[in-house]
Every structure is written in structure tokens, then in C-alpha cells.
Amino acid sequence: MYELLAAGIVNVVQVKYLLPLFLGTLAGVIGGALPGVTITMTIIVVLPFTFSLDPLQGLAAMTGVYVGGSAGGLVTAVLLGIPGSPSAIATTFDGHALARRGEPGRAVWLGIWASFFGGLLGGIVLIAATGPLAAIALQFGPWEFFSLFVLALSMVAGLAESSLLKGLVSGCLGLIVTVLGTDPVMGQDRLTLGIPFVRGGIDFLPVLIGVFAFSQVMGEIERRGGAAPIAEAGARTLRLAVSHSKVIWEIVSRPFQLMWYALVGVLIGVLPAIGGSAASMMAYDQAKKISPRPEAFGKGAPEGIIASEASNNANVGGSLVTIMAFGIPGDAVTAVMLGALTIHGIQSGPLFISQNAQLAYGIFAAYLLAHPLMVLILAVGARWMLRVVTVPKAALFPVVLVLCAIGAYALNNTMSNVYVLLAFGVLGYAMAKLGFPLAPFILGVILGDQIEINLVRSLMTDSNLWLFVTRPISALLLAMAVASIVLSIWQHRRMQEKAAAAEGAADF
């Protein structure tokens, strides 16, 4: 493993890989810093640029976006009090307070170095856990794979904030997209709706790009129009100089807390569709609970910044574990990465790491190297980030949508994918307006074919349905799926009771 990792690092430090990694990290940092522009939108914009690159170049660029984007939001969160990305919300609580107390440099650098160390700890888990997990998955038959995919879908649906039922409906809608076109077992046409280009099935990338890009861009247009800049750039004259050794010591002198925050991030990352914002909020909450001075939180406590940022970047490592070991994307960003793999004809899943060891360890190396690059970019450009946020959306959004159209068109040089992009853009916006979560929908689109193939394969091998619950691993996975749904119902009820109790208390 270590030889392969060393070879991966030697490979990625070549200019042809380092340059896309650097540019991806830069794009991620900028995208992360722009309020209203998410990492998903940034990676969608970067995607078409990777089509003509070799797989490792493209995935290095995307890994850079993911790592850079996870840290990029902290600069505006700390200096302006406006989180660039949802995952930087918890950083705002103490980061901005510390900056307002006259220590902006310390606040920014605590965040940057915490992201760096948290991300590297997440990387250790990524490298150590992916191989063994993939080896376990190699023992799976179609029954286990079917149950695993059902578990992933039920978890994502159950974790949807709005309601479990809406999450389940959304996941089913994603599965419906995959039944249109061709039967994956015998290649027979089905449910083509009379549309010629649906005969070959619908590519998931234009669906993903359409759903996420349009729901975000149109959501912003609906709320604020485009005339206003993303944020007013204040604080341009701030001095961010700081003693790095002191800041680093402030972080590493609490090794157990740092590891705990990183672990929270990794675990949240492994669970599908929860995301960096939940990871940073949970770690922040943990930091407050274990701190001897919880009253200092919200007033510029360094532990608050460290917890939020360390957990947020470790989350990236966790998300990459599931996609590399099982081929299940943990979030929209890794879903786009999965799409990039597919474009290059690489099959993700348990065999990925053994069949593409050079690429897999190249991704690990890119992940590790993206962290020092992220620190370098933020060291040079933190002040510039404040200028970037003054870009008017009127100029930014049409460019984003043009890049989405290019990304869809370039998949196979036909307009059909651009039509799919537009159709699913409308659907994605409508779903967002009706409160249907988008993550289960996308996971349904991605896993639909695999669910069908494994279900049909298992039934063709043996028509006994009891095998799904008598084979131990399959039974365990299905039990976990049921448990996740029951837990979600229980949590939802508890929240409703709390809300009702709060309302009752307010009445008196």
C-alpha cells in the first residue's frame, strides 16, 4: 500500500497532474468563497474542462475542487461574517467574532490550518479504510449489492430534512428515470415515451447537472435577482499576518480533540448525503460540550473554529471512501466524480481499487497534495477572496449555465443531452420549490440500473426471495435500511413534539 501511495505521489507531482490539481483547488477555493455558489456548482463548471484530460488529470482537478471548496468558505465566513459555503456556517460563529475582536489573522489561519490537519486526518482514514472495505464488498453477491444500494437510498431518503416520505418519493423518481429507455438486462426498448433519444437511456450527468445547477441558479434569481454583487467587500485593508508556529501549536496541542473532530467529519462523510455543513455543526456542538469554557463559544473561541473546519475537511475523505470502495456517491460532488469516471470508461465499485490501482492511489495522492496547495492558495489569495465576492451574479450565472450546456453537449457531441439538461433543470427547480430533496433523486438515478441488474440477476440465479433475508450480510444491510427508516420516523416525531411543546410554552 505504501509503495503504491509513494508511486502515486511521485506521479501526481509531475506538472501534467500538478497543474490540474492546482487549478482545481484554486477553482474550489474561489467557488467555496462565493456565497450562493456551492462546491457542487463549482465541480459541475469544472467537469467539461476535464473531458479531454486523462482520467487522473481530471480526477485530480475534481479532488482539488472538493478540498479547496471545503476550505474556501472560511475566509468570507471569518472576515465578512458571510459563509461562502454551507459547511462554513459554524465557522462564522466564532471566526467572525474573533475577527471583530481584532484578531482576523489568527481567526483566518486557525481555520486554514485546522482544515489542513483535519483534511489530512481524513486522508489517513480514506487510504487505510478504502482497500479493506472494497475487499469486503468483493465477497458480495447480487443479493448483497441489491441490499447495499437499498440501504444507501433509504439512508439518503431518511436523512432528508423535509420529510421521510418526500425523500422516498424523490428516490423513487430517480429510479423511474433509469427505467426509461432500455432494459439493462436484455437491451430491449421500454418506456421511450416516443422520444427517439430516450431509446438509449438517459445519461445521469446531464440529469445531475440540470437538477443541481438550475435549482441553485434559479433559486438565487427568484430570491434576489442578479443586480446585487454576491457580497460587499469590506475589510480589504485587514492585516492577516500571524505567527504560523503559534497558530499551528494552538491546533496540534489538542491532539485528541482534533482527532475527534476529524472522526466526526469522516463518519458524517461516509454516510450518504449528509454533507460538510452537518459535519461542521456536529463537531462544533461536540467542541462546545467537551470544552471547559462553553460560555466562550460564539464569542471567538478558537476551539469553535478548529472543530468546524477540521471536521468539514475530514468529511471530504469520508465521502471519497464510499465512492472508491462501493461506487456509491456520498454527495453531489462525488456523484459528479463518479460521472467523470464513467466518461473515461472506468467502472467504479469494489473492483475499482484493484483494477485501477494506479488511478486510485493517484487520487489518494491528489487528495493529500491538495491540502498544502489549498494552504498556499489561501495564504496568497485570502485578501483577493474579498474582491472575488463582489462579482455580480448577473455576470456569473449566465456563464455557469453556458458551461453546464457545454458539459452536457460534450458528453457525446449531441444536442439530446442539452435537452435533457433543460428538462431536468425545470424538474429540479420544481422539486426544490415543492420541498422534495434532490439528493435521494440523484442517488436513485445513479443506482437505479445497478439495483435492477442485481435484483434481476439474483432472481434469475434463484427465484427464492427469502435469500435476501437469509444471507447474513444481505439481511444485515436490509435490517439497517429498515432501522434507518424507523430512526428517521422517530426523529421526525420527536422534532414535531418538541416544536409543539415550544409552541405550547410560548402560548402561556
Using CA atoms of 255, 257, 259, 265 in order, give the dihedral in degrees to the nearest 10.
Answer: -150
Q: What residues are paired with 182 via a beta bridge?
A: 189
Asked whether position 145 contacts another protein by CB under 8 A, the answer is no
Asked whether position 505 contacts another protein by CB under 8 A, the answer is no
Q: Which CB, 255 or 398, lies closer to another protein?
A: 398
Q: What residues are paired with 189 via a beta bridge?
A: 182
Residue type at position 193? L
Q: Which of 5, 9, 136, 163 binds another protein (CB under 8 A)?
A: 163
Q: What residues are paired with 181 via a beta bridge?
A: 190
Asked whether position 462 contacts another protein by CB under 8 A, the answer is no
Count of positions on this chain that bind another protein (CB under 8 A) = 64
Asked whether position 459 contacts another protein by CB under 8 A, the answer is yes
Q: Which of 69, 332, 452, 481 binds another protein (CB under 8 A)?
A: 452
Asked whether position 422 contacts another protein by CB under 8 A, the answer is yes
Q: Which of 6, 19, 191, 495 binds another protein (CB under 8 A)?
A: 191
Q: Which of 102, 132, 225, 234 binds another protein (CB under 8 A)?
A: 225
- How far, in Å, CA of 237 to CA of 83, rounded? 20
Give the DSSP letter of residue 266: H
Q: Which CB, 236 or 433, lies closer to another protein?
A: 433
Cell of residue 241, nine digits: 499576518
Asked whether position 441 contacts another protein by CB under 8 A, the answer is no
Asked whether position 175 contacts another protein by CB under 8 A, the answer is yes
Cα-based distances in Å from 411 to 291, 310, 381, 400, 444: 51, 36, 34, 17, 21
Buried b (16+ CB within 10 A) or exposed e, 244-263: eeebbebbeebeebbbbbbb
Q: How far is the CB of 461 from another protein (least distance, A)?
A: 11
Q: Which of 7, 226, 357, 473 binds another protein (CB under 8 A)?
A: 226
Select the span of 89-97, 200-208, 223-231, 299-307 touching another protein (CB under 8 A): 223-231
Q: Which of 195, 198, 259, 410 binds another protein (CB under 8 A)?
A: 410
Asked if 99 and 79 touch (Cβ cutoff 8 Å), the reply is yes
Q: Which CB, 45 or 263, lies closer to another protein?
A: 45
Q: Which of 223, 289, 292, 466 binds another protein (CB under 8 A)?
A: 223
- How far, in Å, CA of 449 to CA of 461, rounded? 18
Q: Which CB, 370 or 403, lies closer to another protein?
A: 403
SS3 190: strand
Asked whether position 428 contacts another protein by CB under 8 A, the answer is no
Query: What is the rounded radius of gyration, in angstroms, for the C-alpha atoms of the chain?
Result: 23
Give the DSSP letter of residue 35: T
Cell of residue 261, nine digits: 473532530
Q: Which of 460, 482, 501, 502 binds another protein (CB under 8 A)?
A: 460
- How far, in Å, CA of 410 to CA of 76, rounded? 34
Q: How far is the CB of 84 from another protein (least distance, A)?
A: 21
Q: Calculate the CA 7 to chain-centre distance.
A: 27
Asked whether position 195 contacts another protein by CB under 8 A, the answer is no
Q: Which CB, 172 or 469, lies closer to another protein?
A: 172
Q: How far is the CB of 458 from another protein (least distance, A)?
A: 10
Select the span of 129-137, 196-204, 282-290, 397-405 touching another protein (CB under 8 A): 397-405
String of DSSP letters for 300-359: --HHHHHHHHHHHHHHHHHHHHHHHHHS--SSHHHHHHHHHHHHTTPPPSTTHHHHTHHH
Asked whether position 58 contacts another protein by CB under 8 A, the answer is no
Cell of residue 221, nine digits: 434569481
Count other Cβ atoms within 10 Å, centred on residue 101: 12
Cα-based distances in Å from 152 to 14, 322, 340, 439, 446: 37, 10, 21, 11, 11
Asked whether position 43 contacts another protein by CB under 8 A, the answer is no
Asked whether position 402 contacts another protein by CB under 8 A, the answer is yes
Give the DSSP letter of residue 230: S
Asked whether position 502 contacts another protein by CB under 8 A, the answer is no
Q: Which of 166, 254, 288, 371 binds another protein (CB under 8 A)?
A: 166
Q: Which of 121, 266, 378, 455 binds another protein (CB under 8 A)?
A: 455
Asked whether position 237 contacts another protein by CB under 8 A, the answer is no
The residues binding another protein (CB under 8 A) are 48-49, 51-53, 163, 165-166, 168-169, 172-173, 175-176, 179, 183, 185-186, 188, 190-191, 193, 217-218, 221-223, 225-227, 392-395, 397-399, 401-403, 405-406, 409-410, 413, 415, 418-419, 421-422, 425-426, 429, 433-436, 448, 452, 455-456, 459-460, 463
